[in-house]
């Protein structure tokens, strides 16, 4: 696995992102990422607009090939695949928790949660903290198989700590690296690594 692959993978996870965001997602130094992205853009693997990058169709094809080449061993690693299966179980729970965070059930009718009920919010946040703890050993197994996944753990911890400190936008805000944003990115990462597609 080389840095160019990591840079392209970073762009795939963080579409329309600048070098800094790609560097953070891929675990690369900013200067290194910047140079790689410029090189890939010159080679028509990426398209650049105002400092933000997207994969070209050719870039996407190259990247998909790299996934199966670089992660062949991991895809055959029973422990990693088993940990991934457990991740999928937790994923269903996470989606329900985030939905309950956003929506109230009022006697069968769903309405947007306007966060005026502190007890309700505290209970949902508590469920998220509980899920985070139960998920920790699974994430550790995944990281043992692919150490760069540790970046997701750091981001999840950060989002949870912010949310527990009362900054509740860190739970599901789509414009920041909220718990849901990072979780979803991690899911995308795993799907690419394992060559699978997401089921709605």
The helix (H) or strand (E) run that includes residue 106 is strand 103-106
DSSP 109-154: EEEE--S--HHHHHHHHHHHHHHHHHHHHHHHHHHHH-GGGHHHHH
Q: Does 53 bind another protein (CB under 8 A)?
A: no
Whether the Cβ atoms of residue 108 and residue 99 lie closer than 8 Å to each other: no
Contact flag: residue 198 with another protein (CB under 8 A): yes
Residues 79-118 as x/- pattern, contact with another protein by CB under 8 A: -------x--xx----xx-xx--xxxxxxxxxxx-xxxx-
Whichever of 49 and 73 has its CB closer to another protein, that residue is: 49
What are the tokens at 190? 């795993």
Given the complex with another protein, which of 73 and 200 has the nearer CB atom? 200
- Cα(140)–Cα(150) distance, rounded to whole angstroms? 8
Q: How far is the CB of 146 from another protein (least distance, A)?
A: 19
29 or 154, CB closer to another protein?
154
Q: Which is nearer to another protein, 3 or 188 (CB)?
A: 188
Residues 39, 122, 154, 195: which binds another protein (CB under 8 A)?
A: 122
d(CA 180, CA 172): 5
Q: Which helix H or strand E contains 49, and what residues bound it? A: strand 46-49
Residue 7 burial class via C-beta count within 10 angstroms: exposed 0-12, middle 13-18, buried 19 and up: buried
User: Residue 76 interacts with another protein (CB under 8 A)?
Assistant: no
Number of residues forming the site for another protein (CB under 8 A): 54
CA 163 to chain centroid: 17
Residue 120 within binding range of another protein, rule CB under 8 A: yes
Our CB check for another protein shows the closer of 7 and 11 to be 11
Residues 148-187 that bind another protein (CB under 8 A): 164-165, 172-175, 178, 180-181, 184-185
Q: CA-CA distance, 196 to 38, in Å (whole number)?
A: 29
Is 29 an interacting residue with respect to another protein (CB under 8 A)?
A: no
| Residues at the contact surface with another protein, assessed by CB under 8 A | 13-16, 54, 86, 89-90, 95-96, 98-99, 102-112, 114-117, 119-120, 122, 125-127, 129-130, 133-135, 137-138, 164-165, 172-175, 178, 180-181, 184-185, 188, 198, 200
């Amino acid at each position: 696995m080389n840095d160019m692959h990591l840079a392209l993978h970073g762009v795939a996870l963080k579409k329309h992102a600048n070098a800094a965001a790609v560097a953070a997602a891929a675990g690369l130094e900013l200067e290194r990422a910047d140079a790689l992205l410029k090189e890939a853009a010159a080679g028509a693997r990426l398209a650049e607009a105002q400092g933000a990058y997207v994969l070209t169709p050719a870039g996407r094809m190259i990247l998909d090939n790299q996934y199966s080449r670089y992660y062949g061993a991991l895809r055959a690693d029973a422990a990693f695949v088993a940990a991934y299966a457990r991740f999928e179980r937790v994923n269903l729970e996470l989606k329900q928790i985030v939905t309950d965070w956003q929506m109230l059930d009022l006697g069968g009718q769903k309405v947007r949660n306007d966060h005026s009920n502190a007890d309700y919010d505290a209970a949902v946040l508590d469920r998220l903290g509980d899920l985070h703890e139960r998920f920790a050993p699974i994430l550790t197994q995944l990281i043992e198989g692919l150490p760069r996944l540790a970046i997701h753990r750091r981001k999840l911890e950060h989002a949870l700590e912010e949310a527990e400190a009362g900054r509740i936008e860190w739970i599901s805000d789509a414009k920041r690296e909220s718990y849901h944003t990072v979780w979803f990115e991690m899911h995308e990462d795993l799907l690419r690594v394992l060559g699978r597609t997401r089921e709605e």
